[in-house]
């Protein structure tokens, strides 16, 4: 189901005019969260970021936070499936000249979501580093041009994901944040030139209860010598990285600290579920 500017529509009727600034100039922001048992996960964090992204892009959001929650509540009920993904997109609107933003269009989609399984976790992922700095990285825009463009390359290289680096410093993967566990058992994650993930935030808070945590620059070289590496995202939760540029990390299997954080995160998920309307 799709909500567009106040109307609830079937997927096939969820249409937007081609003069929209998303299609004309890729000018739009979004956010994405999932539900468990019909309850949204980390909803307030996602709404905080959505409104912040809109403001950073000079796009007014016509709907207030509580009314937006009501729409989300309605969509989850109407959809009926207990585990779905909800994407909220705000575009630059229908531009008369195809360059100046106009009145934003608000689009909310509910759709099936594929979440990493225990088997995916056990299999873990292999990543390749690549020099690339996303534009406006702190804003969750729709720009995944490079990420989608790199997919044939990743497939050809037999890798699962690309790790972006900016002048030798690790930043993020296209849809996840990256973490390393040092040999002396600290958790470290980059703190600039990347998107501040909601899962990242919650992993950091959670991990700080059990180990030292640092947000700071990480060079590719330092990462390569990590005891453990993992990435975090809404659909991957915590996903071990067992090879970087062809070099095995640790013994090539998920590490002990990653296992521990993963188990804690699964508990946190369950504890964090709130009714949308309270």
Residues that bind its own copies (CB under 8 A): 2, 4, 11-12, 14-28, 57-58, 87, 89, 91-92, 97-101, 107, 109, 111, 114, 132, 135-136, 141-149, 151-152
Both tokens of 278, joined, read: 């309270």
Residue with smaller CB distance to its own copies, 142 or 211 = 142
Residue with smaller CB distance to its own copies, 113 or 273 = 113
Q: What is the dihedral of CA 157, 160, 164, 165, to 10 degrees?
A: -70
Residue with smaller CB distance to its own copies, 89 or 177 = 89
Question: Nearest distance from residue 11's CB to its own copies, in Å?
Answer: 7
Residue with smaller CB distance to its own copies, 174 or 250 = 174
Residue with smaller CB distance to its own copies, 116 or 142 = 142
Residues 6+ apart with CB under 8 A from 251: none
Question: Nearest distance from residue 110's CB to its own copies, in Å?
Answer: 12
Burial of 215 (0-12, 13-18, 19+ CB in 10 A): middle
Is residue 104 within 8 Å of 91, Cβ to Cβ? yes
Question: Nearest distance from residue 146's CB to its own copies, in Å?
Answer: 5
Residue with smaller CB distance to its own copies, 25 or 253 = 25
Angle at 254 between CA 250 and CA 256, to 5 degrees: 85
| C-alpha 228: how far from chain center | 21
* 266 membership: H or E segment, kind and range: helix 256-272
State the Cα–Cα distance between residues 18 and 216, nearest whole angstrom: 42
Question: Nearest distance from residue 89's CB to its own copies, in Å?
Answer: 7
Question: Nearest distance from residue 246's CB to its own copies, in Å?
Answer: 25
Residues 6+ apart with CB under 8 A from 149: none
Question: Nearest distance from residue 15's CB to its own copies, in Å?
Answer: 4
Residues 6+ apart with CB under 8 A from 55: none
Both tokens of 46, joined, read: 């996602």
Both tokens of 73, joined, read: 């509540």
Residue with smaller CB distance to its own copies, 66 or 149 = 149
Question: Nearest distance from residue 114's CB to its own copies, in Å?
Answer: 8
Is residue 8 within 8 Å of 121, Cβ to Cβ? no
Both tokens of 76, joined, read: 């989850």
Question: Nearest distance from residue 155's CB to its own copies, in Å?
Answer: 11
Residue with smaller CB distance to its own copies, 128 or 150 = 150
């Amino acid at each position: 189901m799709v909500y567009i500017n106040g109307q609830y529509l079937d997927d096939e009727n969820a249409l937007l005019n081609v003069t929209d600034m998303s299609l004309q100039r890729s000018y739009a922001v979004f956010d994405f969260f999932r539900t468990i048992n019909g309850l949204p996960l980390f909803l307030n964090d996602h709404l905080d970021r959505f409104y912040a992204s809109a403001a950073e892009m000079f796009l007014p959001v016509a709907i207030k936070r509580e009314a937006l929650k009501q729409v989300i509540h309605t969509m989850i009920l109407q959809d009926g499936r207990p585990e779905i993904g909800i994407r909220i997109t705000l575009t630059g609107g229908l531009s008369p000249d195809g360059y100046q933003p106009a009145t934003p269009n608000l689009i909310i989609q509910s759709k099936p979501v594929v979440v990493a399984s225990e088997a995916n976790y056990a299999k873990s992922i292999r990543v390749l580093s690549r020099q690339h700095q996303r534009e406006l990285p702190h804003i969750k825009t729709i720009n995944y041009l490079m990420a989608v463009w790199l997919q044939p390359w990743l497939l050809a290289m037999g890798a699962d994901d690309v790790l972006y680096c900016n002048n030798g410093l690790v930043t993020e993967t296209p849809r996840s944040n990256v973490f390393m566990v040092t040999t002396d058992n600290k958790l470290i994650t980059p703190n600039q030139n990347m998107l501040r993930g909601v899962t990242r935030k919650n992993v950091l808070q959670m991990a700080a209860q059990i180990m030292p945590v640092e947000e700071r620059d990480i060079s590719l070289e330092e990462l390569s010598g990590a005891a453990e590496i993992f990435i975090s995202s809404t659909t991957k939760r915590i996903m071990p990285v067992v090879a970087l540029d062809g070099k095995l990390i640790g013994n090539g299997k998920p590490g002990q600290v990653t296992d521990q954080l993963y188990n804690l995160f699964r508990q946190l998920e369950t504890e964090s579920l709130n009714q949308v309307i309270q």
